Amino acid sequence: MLPDKDQWTVIFSKNSTSWGSFSYDEKEDALRVTVKPAADQNFDTLTYTFDDVKPDSAVVTLRWEKVAVPFRVSVDVKAVTLKSIRNQLRSVGGFSWAGYDEAANWCLDTPTTSRKR
């Protein structure tokens, strides 16, 4: 994270093995998000909270001292799940009725407006 008075830049890296900023390389950035910090109650230790939790998203808030830095994280759960189902049915799960039964039940129980075949 790059803090500033009026906005912070939250950086998500493709490199998950480096610790801290000692070996930071901007070429490994996966995503940068600009967010506005807000005043908050005092937190003595660095704290991350997950607020406004929904099935496909949540607001992650970094809290430290009297500053809160919120940013929303979301994922296309249906697309990720369908991709996983397709991959699983290509292996051992595809050689039994149980895998197809579970996949069919998930599709029936999950409302969607578009589903690619």
* pLDDT tens by residue, 53-99: 998 999 999 999 999 999 999 999 999 999 999 998 998 878 888 88
Residues 55 and 91 in one domain: no
Residue 40 has what pLDDT? 94
| Count of domains observed in the chain | 2
Residues 66 and 91 in one domain: no
Residue 114 has what pLDDT? 52
pLDDT digits (tens, 9 = 90+) for 12-67: 999 988 887 788 899 999 999 999 999 999 999 999 999 999 989 999 999 999 99
- Amino acid at residue number 83: K
Supply the DSSP string of 52-115, one letter for each residue.
EEETTEEEEEEEEEEEEEEEEEE--HHHHHHHHHHHHHTTGGGGSHHHHHHHHHHHHHS--S--
117 lies in a domain?
no
The SS3 of residue 85 is helix
Domain region containing 91:
77-109
Full-model pTM: 0.68
Residue 94 has what pLDDT? 80
